[in-house]
Structure 1
Amino acid sequence: ASADGPEVEFHDPRRKELLQALKDALGDDTTIGTTVWACLWLSDIDRLEKIVAWAKETPFHVSAFFDTIELSTRVHIGTDRSRRSSAAPSPWRPSSPLQPLTPLQPSTILHPSPSQQPPLSQQPPAQSSLRSQRRNNGSDGQLALSRNKAATNMCCERDQRKCVLVKAGEPINVAHIYPFSMGYEVDPIKEPRNTFWGTLRYFWSEERVDAWHNAVFPSGTEVCYNLICLSPDAHAYWGRAYFAFKPISLSEDKKRLVVQFYWLTPPNRASTVEILQVPSLPKDSDRGPNSTMLFNHETGEKICSGHALSLTTDDPVTQPLPDRRLLEMQWFLHRVTAISGAAEPWDNFRDDSDDED
């Protein structure tokens, strides 16, 4: 493991200074929900500065906003990868129905007024990039999503029909980095802030969130660079945010991507925490939650936090490697999920592999 492990943001003195200022603005006795707490400790500094400025101006509004995230949206952040709908809002999936739209344009300020909402792109999504999605005739206007077998086959060929992590062959699952069930969006004009992407923009920079968004849309989830081969157990652990991949480097020819593996095993949490309480994500774990472990099937070695692995492709054009932007998004949101305790083994959990009969 290195100094750049899952806790690197927690040691930033500027972050600690800003969180102290936020606590002072909201009141010394203020506690917050674990989702907001996790986001604050992993947020971009420029967004945290704006939240602090907002809290100094209108602390009540900030407290209400934090409560909204915890109670109304249940963090639209996390790792539910079920293809079925759930009665309870899952961590990735917003609790309200979603509407399709064309890609977002960057918003201008942290909490825009109705007249300053980010406009929709004037161009419709490319039909070729949405060939694996079909329009639902229902009144909710959602896109009904279907699998793209060609993308699945390209992923399997690229990863040599082996789990990229444990190196085991079939049976394998073709896992989505950005979940298949989230292959749609909310109209930001009708629901400008209380959406998955709107929530992200409060805590991470426009440039970063735009990059994540543009890696997903308009192409959608059914593309080779959003897929990765995992063993069934690794897929299940990943879907529960038991571990995360941190993207490290991509070769100039785009044929080799180095990532680091980290178990995400935080201590037990309360439902609310004090703002200045520092989260804990040990960087040298040899197992995940519930004593879960993974082993390299070729060497028999236990896979521990900090383990580096190389993802490769012979053809970066037709069989591209996982998109670094998507892996970065996963790196942040899996940690938010683990720290906050948002990832739960929902009763309806099913892995979203395309490789099933």
Structure 2
Amino acid sequence: MAQERKGKHASECDGPPALRTRRQTSMQVHETSAVVPSSTHSRSRSDSPTPPSEEPSLLSEEHLNIPTQERKELLAELADALETDKVGAAFWACLQVCDLDQLRELIHQAKAAPKFVSLLARECHALPRLWKQLVTRSNSSTATSPKEKSVNSRASGPTSQARERDNSRCVFTKSSIFEVAHIYPHCLIRPATPPNERTEAIQSFWKALEFFWKPEQIQQWRQEIFRSPNSPNDASDACFNLICMQPNIHMAWTKGLFALRPFDYNEDKSKLDVEWYWQPKQSHGPYDLVDLRKSPPSSRDLDEVDDYNIVLEPTPNNFARLKSGHRFTLETPDAQRLPLPSKALLELQWHLNRIVSMAAAGEGEDSDYDDYEDERHAYTEKWVNQLQQPVISSEPDSSASNTPPTYYSPLPSYLPV
């Protein structure tokens, strides 16, 4: 039984009656659950039972948002190169999850051209906002039950395939009230023609990722979503990019309240394990400057965040909350016709959802975002291209030690330094 309740005890329930759902076989978990409000922002519980499939000893601390000593030292070196400890929240968030080799490259660029890296830091503000899927609100998925059909234009094709694959149920709670949610955001999928402002936003999104992950990793992600040989810049809106989940879980996902960590497919790609990690609330806001040397709060043992939790019922007399590290097994009856959610896209989501959380991008309303984007889209492509120009010299001339490094192109005049 899934219960909506407030606080820690069921006796405090002041919400609607609990929704009883049937157990399904689309995943190898047999708990029913529901996202319910609580009275704290983020909390861990040592008394919650550890799911049998969870193996805490095998979890790296980086996956729990605990930076390694090497990352800490590199971030301190970057702060020295930039001659500032304070950077935008989104840039700070990207640095917490990015590839370490790319972080070393950013340090090299910062030593050679600190103002260019400072510009990148400012423009990272748009990255988590694009990912959280709120750019085009009219594209949100439609809540569905087995007795009703969506009038949404995407109800046929990939959407119906995702419903069939997931047995018309939320893959986490088995609820019959669900949405077909995108992994790679629908707002970043565009028709082939005509090119528009969204086209620039999509291109800038992928170029921004190149500063934080290796080219081969970016290429793997791109190949998974841009599959058309005739239209290599058009993303594929297909079953592998969709997953069914309850509307309130979908909203929590887009707000970065949790992230899904994927594992490997089984041999015939009929099963895929994912682990759920709550992402703790940050002490800073989305527009705040954050100390580069600050470490994010850990997701270890969290069982709720920002007034949400999921109550599991493993036995009639033993309620337990869904805890960071809980593993779900996604399944499909036909891996060819009804492919599972893409592991590669879930990996991209694993990084970007944590960035959304760490950047505090999921907080508040986004009513100002469209205006922000109108202002930014026109020149985002320009500064990214300039930022990628090679540096003539990474070291100042020994005969003129006070001379700043030289670049191929000046800082763009349309942005403040």
Cα separation, 2, equivalents of 1:213 and 1:311: 23
* Counterpart for residue 320 of structure 1: 339
- TM-score, normalised on structure 1? 0.72
Distance, in Å, in 1 between the alignment partners of 2:179 and 2:190 is 23
TM-superposed CA distance for 1:39, in Å, is: 0.4
Q: 1:38 aligns with which of 85, 93, 98?
A: 93
Structure of larger gyration radius: 2
* 8 Å CA contact 1:166, 1:295 repeated in 2: no
Question: Distance between the aligned counterparts of 1:75 and 1:245, measured in 2?
Answer: 16
Measure how far apart 1:311 and its partner are: 0.2
* Cα deviation digits, residues 140-191 of structure 1 (max 9, x gap): xxxxx952612112111111111111122x221111111112103989xx96
* Residue in 2 that maps onto 1:84: 137
User: Measured at CA, do residues 4 and 146 of structure 1 come closer, stay the same or move farther in structure 2, by a change above 3 Å?
Assistant: farther
Q: The residue matched to 1:262 in structure 2 has which SS?
A: strand
Aligned CA RMSD, in angstroms, stands at: 2.9
Corresponding residue of 2:300: 283
C-alpha distance in structure 1 between counterparts of 2:202 and 2:184, whole Å: 21
- Note the alpha carbon deviations across 1:201-223, whole angstroms, 9 max, x for none: 11111111111122111453521
SS at 2:309's partner residue?
coil
Which of the residues 168, 176, 181 maps onto 1:175?
A: 181
What is the CA distance between 1:254 and its match in structure 2?
0.3
In structure 2, relative to structure 1, the CA distance for the partners of 1:329 and 1:17 (3 Å cut) is same
Say if 1:245 and 1:260, in contact at 8 Å, map to a contact too: yes
Change (3 A) 1:266 1:198: same
Residues 1:216 and 2:225 are matched in the alignment: yes
Q: Secondary structure at the match of 2:276?
A: strand
Structure 2 distance, partners of 1:294, 1:341, is 22
Q: Which residue of 2 aligns with 1:303?
A: 322
- Residue aligned with 1:175, SS: strand
Distance 2:273 2:295 in 1: 29
- For residues 325-336 of structure 1, the aligned pairs below 5 Å read 325-336=344-355
Of the three residues 152, 164, 172, the one matched with 1:157 is: 164
Cross-structure match for 1:339: 358
Contact 2:302–2:324 (CA under 8 A) maintained in structure 1: yes
- Counterpart residue identity of residue 181, structure 1: C
Separation (CA, whole Å) in 1 of partners of 2:257 and 2:112:
38
Instruction: Determine the C-alpha separation between the residues in 2 that align with 1:166 and 1:328.
Output: 22
> Which residue does 2:113 correspond to in 1?
58
Amino acid at match of 1:60: K
Deviations 1:255-288 (A, max 9, x none): 1100000111233215011111111132211112
Alignment TM-score, normalising by the size of structure 2: 0.62
The one-letter amino acid paired with 2:257 is Y
The answer for the alignment partner of 1:108 in structure 2 is none
CA distance in structure 1 between the aligned counterparts of 2:342 and 2:117, rounded to whole angstroms: 34
Q: Is the 8 A contact 1:77 1:333 kept in 2?
A: no
Q: From 198, 208, 211, give the equivalent of 1:202.
A: 211
Residue 248 of structure 2 is matched in structure 1 by 233
> Are residues 1:250 and 2:254 paired?
no
Contact 1:148 1:222 in 2 (8 A): no
Correspondence for 1:4: 60
Contact persistence 1:257–1:310 (CA under 8 A) = yes
1:15 corresponds to which of 52, 71, 78: 71
Residue 294 of structure 1: aligned partner: 310
Aligned partners of 2:227 and 2:202: how far apart in 1? Answer: 21
